[in-house]
Structure 1
Amino acid sequence: MGTDSEEVARAVALRLLNHSARSRAQLAEAMAAKDVPSEVAEAVLDRFTEVGLIDDDEYARMLVRTRHAERGLSRRAIGVELRRRGIDDEVAASALDEVDDAQEAQAARALVRRRLAATRGLDPQVRARRTFAALGRKGYSPGLVSQLVRDELAAEGAELEDEDLPAVD
Structure 2
Amino acid sequence: MTRRTEWSGTDLGAVPGPGSTAEPTEGSTGPGRGAGFGEGSGRRSRSRSRSSGSPSSSRAEKGEPQDPVEQARNICLRLLTGTPRTRKQLADALRKREIPDEAAEEVLSRFVDVGLIDDAAFADAWVESRHHGRGLARRALVRELRTKGVDSAVIDEAVGQLDPEQEEETARELVARKLRSTRGLDRDKRLRRLAGMLARKGYGEGMALRVVRQALEAEGEDTEGLDEPF
Same fold (TM over 0.5): yes
The DSSP-based 3-state class of the residue aligned with 1:157 is: coil
Out of 2, 7, 10, which is 2:73 matched to? 10
For the 8 Å contact 2:209–2:229, the answer to whether it is kept is no
Quick one: higher RCO (CA 8 Å, sep 6+), 1 or 2? 1
Cα RMSD between the aligned structures? 1.8
TM, length-normalised to structure 1: 0.92
Aligned to 2:106: 43
Alpha-carbon shift at residue 166 of structure 1 (Å): 7.2
Aligned to 2:63: none
Pairing 1:74-85 to 2, within 5 Å after superposition: 74-85=137-148
- Pairs aligned (count): 167
Larger of the two Rg values belongs to structure:
2
For the 8 Å contact 2:195–2:208, the answer to whether it is kept is yes
Structure 2: how far apart are the matches of 1:49 and 1:62? 17
Aligned to 2:16: none
In structure 2, stretches of 5+ residues that fail to align are 6-65
Aligned to 2:190: 127
Out of 147, 157, 162, which is 1:94 matched to? 157
Which deviates further from its counterpart, 132-141 or 115-124? 115-124
Structure 1: how far apart are the matches of 2:111 and 2:124? 19
Out of 71, 75, 96, which is 2:134 matched to? 71
Aligned to 1:109: 172
Alpha-carbon shift at residue 118 of structure 1 (Å): 2.3
Confirm or deny that 1:56 pairs with 2:119: yes
Aligned to 1:167: 229
Structure 2: how far apart are the matches of 1:165 and 1:28? 48
For the 8 Å contact 1:23–1:54, the answer to whether it is kept is yes
The DSSP-based 3-state class of the residue aligned with 1:122 is: coil
Structure 2: how far apart are the matches of 1:117 and 1:102? 24
Identity of aligned residues (%): 45
